[in-house]
Amino acid sequence: MFSTPTHLYYYCYILNMKILSTTTINAPNQSLGDSTTDRKIHLNPWDLQFLPFGANQTAGLLYKHPLEKIDTIIHQLKCSLSSTLAFFPLLAGRLEITEHENDNTISCYLKCNNAGVLFVHAVEKNVAVADILRSTCPPQFIQSLFPLNGIKNYEGTSQPLLAVQVTELIDGIFLALTINHVVIDGKPTWNFINSWAEISKLNGCLQISKQPKPTLERWFPNAIQLPIRFPFTIEKNHADNDGKEKLNPPERLFHFTKEKIMELKSKANIEAESNNISSLQALLTHIWRSVVLSRGFDPQEEVQFMIVIDTRSRFFPPLPEDYFGNAIILSGVSMKVGELLKEGGLGKGAQEMNKMIASHTNEKLKNHYESWLKTPSFISLGSVANSNSLVVSSSPRFNVYECDFGWGKPLRVRSGDSNKRNGKISVYPGAEEGSVDIEVCLPYEILEAMENDPEFMGVVSN
């Protein structure tokens, strides 16, 4: 079920952290009657676009210290993780990349070979729950609480597709995951975590009642030849990223209550003479306006807001609710600075954002998919880094605060540094119902200017 690895590595950044153990967790030999050993899962453009991107580190959960002994907790987490992998065998597998010399292309697929998941048990006795909970500027030691730092997704041929780190704090536990983004996006990530939590709470019971059972096969149009072949050179992507990735950018956390968000939504719809603008669109536009104002752009300059759009419900027929893969694309809305910042700009910006998202119909998404097959493109920090753009990811709709492993709900969720750059915004549900927490990565002077923006801070509730 699990064993001590000899080939996996891990490193951290603070000298007073101690790694107590590293273990490889495997799925049970029999995956609930479904033979998954050596099962091959072909990948589609939504998956393949993330090959040069960093692994996902959006799931760091902070808990109060459980009453049970830590050795009991670690054993329970390892056993329940093994049981959960029976439903999610992809996470215990590896990527397989094949070079085709006849046309200088490669192909990539997921092999469910049960190579295993990395599980790290660490202790950091100089950090308390309050050090994480109360800070609006995430302390740099947060990154050392995540496993497999610096890993790119294409390294999933030899590196684990999922790594877990459980770190003992003075008075709590920090449970963090690093997941290969070629395998899944945010929605199935939280489906997996909640499924693991449910099995853990039920002491390893091999059933999932609250979360949908995952659909592992990818979506492909009819008559597409598999595997998909495409040009991709690891050396080129290394060169493209050199000097463009800003490590550990300054970061600030902003909390917005349900009441303040509803006020923004109402104001945006009134200004736009609409009732279609969502609360999230109004909130993101509010942040966009403050960042643009703080940067001091020329009114005629054009700025862009990039949004990760979930495609699952936008197809006809829609993809399965439990689709366990990537089903997202990155798209943007552009406006001139003067138009965004003028009176009524909140409504105008939110309306443009709403129109852009609504334009992603079944036909447009299929055209985008087919276009990728003709001209493959890949997401990297270098490809989206632009001083005139913001990029938002994650979602306040993810089921974060129901992740009860048997010792209560989490106090907060935090993310690691992977894929963070100046202009990156991460959105999470807040601990209180209807509230939202937003992580913003920007230069210090821009964050300071935002904190001195009375219109912006009038909505912030830190």
240 or 158: which carries more pLDDT confidence? 158
Judged by average pLDDT, the poorest of 266-270, 341-345, 377-381 is: 377-381
Instruction: Quote the CA–CA distance of 52 and 232 in Å, as a whole number.
Output: 9
Q: What is the pLDDT of residue 237?
A: 58
List the beta bridge partners of residue 112. Answer: 39
For 79-85, what is the mean pLDDT? 95
With beta carbons less than 8 A apart as the criterion, state whether 393 and 57 touch. Answer: no
With beta carbons less than 8 A apart as the criterion, state whether 318 and 254 touch. Answer: no
The 3-state DSSP composition of the chain as helix, strand, coil percent (nearest 5) reads 30, 25, 45
Confidence tier at 6 by pLDDT (50, 70, 90): very low
Instruction: Quote the CA–CA distance of 65 and 77 in Å, as a whole number.
Output: 15
Confidence tier at 10 by pLDDT (50, 70, 90): very low
Q: What is the pLDDT of residue 380?
A: 76
Give residue-wise pLDDT tens across range 89-112.
999 999 999 999 888 999 999 999
Q: Which of 47, 121, 181, 185 is catalytic?
A: 181
For each of the domains in the chain, give its residue range(s) and CATH number, in order of start. 2-241 (3.30.559.10), 251-457 (3.30.559.10)
pLDDT of 4 above 60: no
Confidence tier at 157 by pLDDT (50, 70, 90): very high
Q: What is the pLDDT of residue 241?
A: 53
Residue 8 DSSP one-character state: -
Average pLDDT value over all residues in the chain = 89
Q: Is the dihedral angle over the CA atoms 116, 415, 257, 441 positive or is it negative? A: negative
List the beta bridge partners of residue 121. Answer: 21, 166
CB-count burial class (<10 Å; 0-12, 13-18, 19+) for 366: middle
Confidence tier at 243 by pLDDT (50, 70, 90): very low
What percent of the chain is predicted at pLDDT more than 90?
Answer: 78
Cα distances (angstroms) measured from residue 301 to each of 143, 212, 251, 440: 36, 46, 25, 22
pLDDT of 48 above 90: yes
3-class SS letters over 73-136: HHHHHHHHHHHHHCCCHHHHCEEEEEEECCCCEEEEEEEECCCCEEEEEEECCCCCHHHHHCCC
Q: What is the pLDDT of residue 32?
A: 45
Q: What is the pLDDT of residue 11?
A: 37
Amino acid, single-letter form, for residue 224 = I
**Cβ neighbours of 40 (radius 10 Å):** 13
Confidence tier at 178 by pLDDT (50, 70, 90): very high
Give residue-wise pLDDT tens across range 404-446.
999 999 999 999 989 988 999 999 999 999 999 999 999 999 9
Q: What is the pLDDT of residue 14?
A: 45
Does the active-site annotation cover 404?
Answer: yes
The vertex-369 CA angle with 371 and 230, nearest 5°, equals: 65
pLDDT of 7 above 50: no
Q: What is the pLDDT of residue 8?
A: 36
**Cβ neighbours of 68 (radius 10 Å):** 13
Give residue-wise pLDDT tens across range 252-307.
999 999 999 999 999 999 999 999 999 999 999 999 999 999 999 999 999 999 99
Q: What is the pLDDT of residue 33?
A: 42
**266, containing H or E segment:** helix 258-272
Number of helices and strands in the chain (H, E): 13, 16
Q: What is the pLDDT of residue 12?
A: 41
Closest CA to 139 of 60, 210, 205: 60
Q: Would you call 109 helix, strand, or coil by DSSP?
A: strand
Does the active-site annotation cover 181?
Answer: yes
Confidence tier at 29 by pLDDT (50, 70, 90): confident
Q: Which of 131, 310, 322, 404 is catalytic?
A: 404
Instruction: Quote the CA–CA distance of 42 and 228 in Å, as a whole number.
Output: 8
From first CA to last CA, the distance across the chain in angstroms is: 44
pTM score: 0.91
**Cβ neighbours of 448 (radius 10 Å):** 14
Confidence tier at 223 by pLDDT (50, 70, 90): confident
